[in-house]
Chains A and B, each alone.
Chain A
Amino acid sequence: MRRLFSYVIVALLASVPLWLGDPYILNAFITTGIFTIAAMSLNLLLGYTGQLSLGHVAFFGIGAYVSALTSLGFDVELFEGFHVVHEPWPVVYGFLLAIVFAGLCGYLVGKLSFRVRGAYFVIVTISFAEVVRLVALNWVELTQGPLALTSIPPFTLGLPGLGYVNLYGKAGNYYLVLGVGLVAYIVIKHLVQSRIGRAMIALKENESLAVSIGINVTAYLVLAAVVSAAIAGAAGSLYAHYLRIIDPDIFLFLYTVTMVIMVITGGKGTLAGPVVGGAIFGAIPVIVRSFAAPEVQWILYGAFMIAIIFVLPQGIVPAIERWFPRGPIKQPRVASQSAASVE
């Protein structure tokens, strides 16, 4: 039943560019989709592993810049007379490098940050994102600073039979985002429903107990950070090549807040949560734009988040799941006849 529902949703989403004429709304779909992917990756860290990392936008932005710079090429002088020159590469390499680089940053941040916990961890992660923003703002030679990186080439995909396609148009980008989104969703699903996922959820719930049965807490926290950062980096790359212009504002705290809101209101620790949250918070600006200033959008975001925390603290998806519960676990015939029980 749930499976069918998922397929219907995906089919519906796939059909959108075919009937949606308004480019503004299609654009909203695309950017919302990109942020939803980032939200899904944050959910891995926040929802499943229980780490309130509020610097997530750093990975998103790093992915964007790495991808853009790889495809644009650059020439920087690291110190006296020593230049690092990079020739432009195809966008696909930028995408892959964004994933790798962001994942690497996730590893470093994970290894360093998980030494502190609780509120201090939150503060460290926010600080990390701010430092990255300031670097992007000030290392003008590499990043153009506030003048922004412009003319970023769009994605180029080689399709069999059709040759190379440059995704300048919205429809192409829409399908690209949808495709990456589905892959990300499936990868995350595989991860959280596996032995590794169970270890992450266990250490969130009771760390001492998890450790006593052999779960290496630090290793799994770092793993979650790496996978989470890598996916965020992928989303960042999509963003850079869709908008084709990025500036250090991409690292602003309010983008992390957007992702956090999507995860929390949708339902942290659930697969569908970030998607539902993404849909709602992507829709709000579209609905609001016609009658109110952009600030109102954010006020609604904040108010809505507070309301959800007060009313449905687990988020929307768990509340819905309470109405459509899963059935009991099926017992395999083999085991029930073996091993005498103590009862």
Chain B
Amino acid sequence: MTGAPALTIEHVAVHFGGLVAIADMNFVVNEGELLSLIGPNGAGKTTAFNVITGFLKPSAGEVRYRGTSLNGLKPHQVASLGLVRTFQRTSVFRAHSVFDNVLTGLHLSGRSTLLDTLLRLPRERQSERELRETTWDILHLVGIGKHAHEQAGSLPYGDQRLLGVALALAAKPSMLLLDEPVSGMNASETGRFMRLLGKLRERGMTILLVEHDMPMVMGVSDRIVVLNYGRIIAEGEPAAIRENPEVIRAYLGQAGAKRAAHA
């Protein structure tokens, strides 16, 4: 299932003035694998995300995707290389309809030039038709087709997060970065999401997941990387991570770790 390294993060550090958000981060995400990035709040997970996707410039280090260095690239350039992220909070265009959200997301797939557009030449019309068909495909894949003409902002929470993923999928990624996708979801919504993840993996999508929901993380990940205070403290398969004393200490603190060990 997993292959060559897709995303490499090498000696990445992020300093905000005197504050060290990320100390020295090194890890690799392989093609087709699902890697989860976990850690207590404030560990640096979202900062790592922002660095990888070009929203933040690292103070040191390099991020490479399929051999291309991402350093200095703007977020839209990172996206066009195939690396697309979702957001934790506003993950959709709230004022647009569900259909328009995904249609907008297909931006990178358009083929027509400015002149085609201004005069609505046949190539533009053909391109529009294709984009609209693809929109329906994505909506049905994700399972929100029935909400197509509803306003995104008025969707139930779980469906909104699914729309966020649909939007990201529209940008034709080869790797998805999901920022706490199931936070705030109830059990059945989380289940739906995990089934979607399964389908994406069947299609060979590489996924980097940041999450707090431990059962979900343990259930879907091929490997897990644990961050604390801007440093990686553990890396490995779910079973190993679960038993790792460093990890337990990071989450539960010293006393809690002792109690857990004697439980």
Contacts and interface: CB of A to CB of B under 8 A. Distances in A.
Nearest to A189: B120
Contacts of A194: 112, 117, 120, 124, 128
B132 A205 contact: no
Interface residues of A, number: 35
Contact of A214 (B79, B96, B103): B79
Q: Is the interface of A mostly helix, strand, loop or mixed?
A: helix
Contacts, number: 132
B104 A199 contact: yes
A332 B107 contact: no
B157 interface: no
B232 to A, nearest CB: 25
A212 B53 contact: yes
Interface in B141-166: 141-143, 145-146, 148-149
B132 to A, nearest CB: 7
A205 B96 CA distance: 9
A142 interface: no
B1 to A, nearest CB: 21
> What interface size band does chain B fall in?
35 or more
Interface stretch (A275-283, A285-293, A333-341): A333-341
A213 B173 CA distance: 9
A170 interface: no
B8 interface: no
A190 B119 CA distance: 7
Contacts of A340: 140
Interface string B77-91: 101100011110011
Nearest to B150: A328
B79 A211 contact: yes
A322 to B, nearest CB: 13
A341 B140 contact: yes
B75 interface: yes
B258 interface: no
Interface centre among B84, B103, B108, B118 (most CB of A within 10 A): B118
Interface string B32-56: 0000000000000000000001010
A198 B142 contact: no
Given A341-B140, A342-B195, A342-B199, A214 B118 contact: no
Nearest to B108: A214
A213 B167 contact: yes
Contacts of A320: none
Contact of B148 (A199, A202, A223, A331): A331
Nearest to A194: B117
A217 interface: yes
A196 B99 contact: no
A212 B107 contact: no
Most buried by B among A208, A329, A338: A329
28 contacts: A187-B119, A190-B118, A191-B117, A195-B107, A195-B128, A199-B104, A202-B96, A202-B107, A205-B93, A206-B90, A206-B93, A208-B87, A209-B87, A211-B55, A211-B79, A212-B85, A212-B168, A212-B171, A213-B79, A213-B108, A213-B171, A215-B107, A332-B133, A336-B140, A339-B141, A341-B140, A341-B143, A342-B141
Those 6 A-B pairs whose CB atoms lie nearest each other, nearest first? A335-B136, A342-B143, A214-B79, A195-B110, A213-B171, A211-B75
Interface of A: 187, 190-191, 194-196, 198-199, 201-202, 205-206, 208-209, 211-217, 223, 328-329, 331-332, 334-336, 338-343
Given A205-B96, A332-B133, A341-B143, 10 more contacts: A211-B79, A212-B53, A212-B75, A213-B84, A213-B168, A214-B107, A331-B148, A332-B132, A335-B133, A341-B140
